[in-house]
Amino acid sequence: MKNIPSIHQSPSQPQKLAALRQAHQDWNNTPDVLTRLTRRLSTTLSLEQQLAILAEELVAIVPFSALNYRHRIGKQDFVYATGMGGPHRCEYRLSLEGVNYGTLVLQRRQRFSEQELEGVEMVLSAAICPIRNACQYVAIEQASLTDSLTGIPNKRALDDALQRSSLLSERHGEPYSLVLCDLDHFKTVNDTHGHVVGDHLLQLAACEIEKSIRTSDSVYRFGGEEFAILLPHTSEQDARDVAERVREAIAAIRVDGGEKELKVTTSCGVATFLPKEAPQAWLARADEALYRAKHQGRNCTRVFATIS
C-alpha cells in the first residue's frame, strides 16, 4: 500500500531560511515605531544612550519640551535631562514585575491630551525591558567597582578616578590632592579580637572618613586596612588639613572590646598632583609620604617632599 503524502507538509529547510531572511528584512525596515524603538534600544546597554533614543522616538509621536529621568541605582543617583521645561507635565514610574526602574517626566507648555498620554504609555511599555536591562548593567558595573565590606569604591575604581583626575587637573590647571590612610597596628586587632571585630572597625573607619570630607571628595578602600581620599580643587595645605580631620575622627572611634574599649589610630600620607605626572607616580608619592608617617611614630600626617 502506497503512502499518501500529507496535505499539510512542513516547510523545508530552504523555505524556513527564506522566511527567516524575509522576517529579518521586515524587522530592519519596518516603519512601525515600536519595532524600530525596541530594535534601536537593543543595540546598547548604556542607560544614557537608551534614554536619548527613547526621547528621539517619543518626541516624534508626542511633542514635548523637556524629558527628565531619575533613578537611584545602588548608592548613586542617575539623572538624565534634555530640553527646557514647561508648566504642564506627565510623570511615569517605570516598573516591571514589581521592581522600580526610575521615574520619567515629560513637560511642555500645552496640556497633554488623553490620546497623547495613551501613546506615551504604549511607547514606555515597549521600552521598559531594555531600560531594565540597562539599569541592571549599571548595577553590575557599580558592584565591580565597590568594596563589598565597606560599601565604598574599591581600588579598581580608584585607578579610574586617578586617571580622570589627572586629565582634569592638566586641562583646567586646578590642584588635585590624594590622601592615603592606613590604620595603625591593624593586624594586632585582627589577631587579638578576631576578624569580625576588625571588619566592624573597617566599616566604622570608612563611615568616619565619608563624614569628614566634602560631597565632591571621594573615598576608596585601597587595601586591607588602607583607604584613599581623592580631593579635587584642593591644595597641599588644604589636603593636609583634611587628612588631620580624618585622623582625629578615626582616633575617636570606640568599640566594645569586652574588658576594655577598643580604639584605633591611622597614619596619613598626602601628595598633590604634579603637571605631566602619571597617575601611578602620583599614587607612589602619596604612598611614600604614608611610609614616612608610619616610620615616624604613626598616628600622624606627612606630605610628600615636606620635612615636618
Can you tell me whether residue 301 is helix, strand or coil?
strand
Q: Active-site residue among 225, 244, 261, 277?
A: 225
d(CA 93, CA 77): 16
Tell how strand 218-221 and strand 88-96 pair up.
Answer: unpaired
Cβ-contact 107, 64 below 8 angstroms: yes
For 265, half-sphere exposure in the C-beta direction (CA atoms, 13 angstrom radius) is 11
CB burial of 170-185 (b: ≥16 within 10 Å; e: otherwise) equals eeeeebbbbbbbbbbe
Whole-angstrom distance, CA of residue 152 vs CA of residue 209: 11
The x, y and z cell numbers of residue 14, run together, are: 530552504
Q: How far apart are CA 132 and CA 115, in angstroms?
A: 26
Q: Report the distance separating Cα 44 and Cα 31, nearest Å.
A: 21
Sort strands 266-272 and 261-262 into parallel, antiparallel or unpaired. unpaired
Quickly tell me which residue has 563624614 as its cell. 211
Q: Is 114 a catalytic residue?
A: no
SS (H, E, C) 143-175: HHCECCCCCCECHHHHHHHHHHHHHHHHHHCCC
| CB 37, CB 57: distance < 8 Å | yes
Name residue 97's amino acid: E
Residue type, 167: L
Among 304, 258, 306, smallest CA distance to 284 is for 304
Residues taking part in catalysis: 225
